[in-house]
Chain A
């Protein structure tokens, strides 16, 4: 029993790290530009598939970096041509646009790489379990958590200490003033979008190595990522980080006792949070309304 609990907690933590990467990117874009990016899951899948295509030529390690960067470039192109036109308009339109993009992404991924799941294997020394007792803890999974940990830490340091990061945070609070101070807001939004998409692409590569690549792999983590943002509190990146891990582990633990409720439980958590603390666990007063 202890092992079962440990096994599912660990699984939940792994899934939670994917939620975190997705949700942080979504949060960045939502906070600065007021756009809910429905196509975020599509970018995740593209990241994974690009790594699959690239890795025979440049190897796993280079693909781990190159695929998210390429995905971010696609993101920049889409932001510049389509999403940019909708800033400042009713959020309905950006919702619908990215919703349509999500359809296109999923369908195109299926057309290019096929509907069947594709295996994407990390280097063999990473796929070993650390011990027979803990067969579910492979070195790859530890590596994955380390990568996510480093990237998240890097993101927070970037937002805290670099000029661009400070501008992004300032823009989240008051974009008009930032603009009046001479910051190019258009470029700022594009860069911010690219950072968000990079995180999605990276999540795609890591997820591909953990399970396998499927066209719907991104759409499946999109909703839990929304929940992570709401539970953690809109406007708070720390909240998003905490929310993602929380619902991942909660979902994993539910699998132990009541497997068929493992998806529904995160929405129950969300309902409770909205009842007890409408702004989310770490959200600021007033942002949600």
Chain B
């Protein structure tokens, strides 16, 4: 990762900042843009662990869903405050991530994946079965995001979709800023060292388990932030957001975009969201086509789109 802002990164921010203006020109709509941002944030949070620590978590939907339910329940039962909803949703994700992370930080590779998937399903069943609190299979309804009062100025994110888009973009930028800062810090460098050669890192005296645990918790924190924003976007929390198939979606976004690059997962999320939106509108068998996309990505683009493009430009 280079220091400073390269032309590519500047172009991404410019595209994101102007999205509400150019999206309608390409038959997009604002909610689609917001969804790309939110799921992109989720995929990038997962990639903090997957791409930059080298740990394969396949159960991250749990924290996405916990954020969503945490935010929804806050708005519904506690107080009509959007910032509080985001804070408490994230807190729920962080607490769960810290507890489960401690149980699994010693596992590696395919076993880490298996344990994370299985644990992720607990939250799905809790949301699915605890009808009185979560609305069960129908999902959590009966709440809506609230306008944000700055005292001198009130931002109406409830009715103004463009305002909500920019609100999400600000949250997205803050989260990315923190993650980029962490990855450039000595802590982030240590994570890369663990990814590249765990045994060597251990011999150097690095407490590997603690680092993996902390990386897991950070990843869960931003994943649950994405979850809170998703609940605010839809004014709805869906138990499917907790299901392991959602975890698989996040992993494929990261891999599709390129998990060795910071921005890759955002590109992957954009392609995935647009593709899913389009396919489900033209065929009932879109699920097969998404499955086929998984197969094609694994067999032909294992380095993701960004990795593929980089290779081409070098060749």
Contacts and interface: CB of A to CB of B under 8 A. Distances in A.
Nearest to A34: B110
A164 interface: no
Give the interface SS of chain A, mostly helix, strand, loop or mixed. helix
B118 A263 contact: no
Interface string A257-289: 000110110011011001100100000000011
Nearest to A229: B114
A91 B56 contact: yes
A103 interface: yes
A223 interface: yes
B130 A260 contact: yes
A262 to B, nearest CB: 9
B169 interface: no
Given A91-B110, A106-B287, A111-B285, A82 B295 contact: yes
B110 A104 contact: no
Interface in B84-133: 103-104, 106-111, 113-115, 117-119, 121-122, 125-126, 128-130
Contacts of A108: 288
A95 interface: yes
29 contacts: A30-B110, A34-B110, A91-B113, A92-B50, A92-B56, A92-B113, A92-B251, A97-B295, A99-B251, A100-B252, A100-B291, A101-B291, A103-B245, A104-B292, A107-B287, A107-B291, A111-B288, A230-B115, A230-B118, A234-B114, A260-B130, A263-B125, A267-B125, A268-B122, A270-B119, A271-B119, A278-B106, A288-B106, A288-B111
B113 A95 contact: yes
Contacts of A90: 56
A99 B58 CA distance: 11
Contact of A103 (B103, B109, B290): B290
Given A108-B288, A260-B129, 13 more contacts: A95-B56, A95-B113, A95-B251, A96-B252, A96-B297, A100-B292, A101-B291, A102-B291, A107-B287, A226-B117, A230-B115, A261-B129, A267-B119
A134 interface: no
Q: Most chain-B CB neighbours within 10 Å: which of A100, A230, A263?
A: A100
Contacts of B33: none
A97 B115 CA distance: 19
B131 to A, nearest CB: 8
A262 B243 CA distance: 17
B291 A103 contact: yes
Contacts of B104: 274
B126 A264 contact: yes
A227 interface: yes
Contacts of A227: 118
B302 interface: yes
A61 interface: no
A40 B84 CA distance: 42
Contacts of B299: 82, 85, 97
A103 B252 CA distance: 13
A7 B25 CA distance: 62
Measured as residues with beta carbon below 8 angstroms from the partner, the interface class of chain B is: 35 or more
A177 B287 CA distance: 42
Contacts of B129: 260-261, 263-264
A104 B288 contact: yes
A87 to B, nearest CB: 12
Contact of B118 (A86, A223, A261): A223
B118 A267 contact: yes
Contacts of B117: 223, 226
A106 B285 CA distance: 10
Contacts of A89: 302
A287 to B, nearest CB: 8
B111 to A, nearest CB: 5
Q: Most chain-B CB neighbours within 10 Å: which of A99, A107, A260?
A: A99
B122 A36 contact: no
B9 to A, nearest CB: 26
Interface string B245-267: 10010011001000000000000
Nearest to B129: A260
A270 B294 contact: no
Contact of B110 (A95, A223, A263): A95
Contacts of B295: 82, 97, 100-101, 104
B244 interface: yes
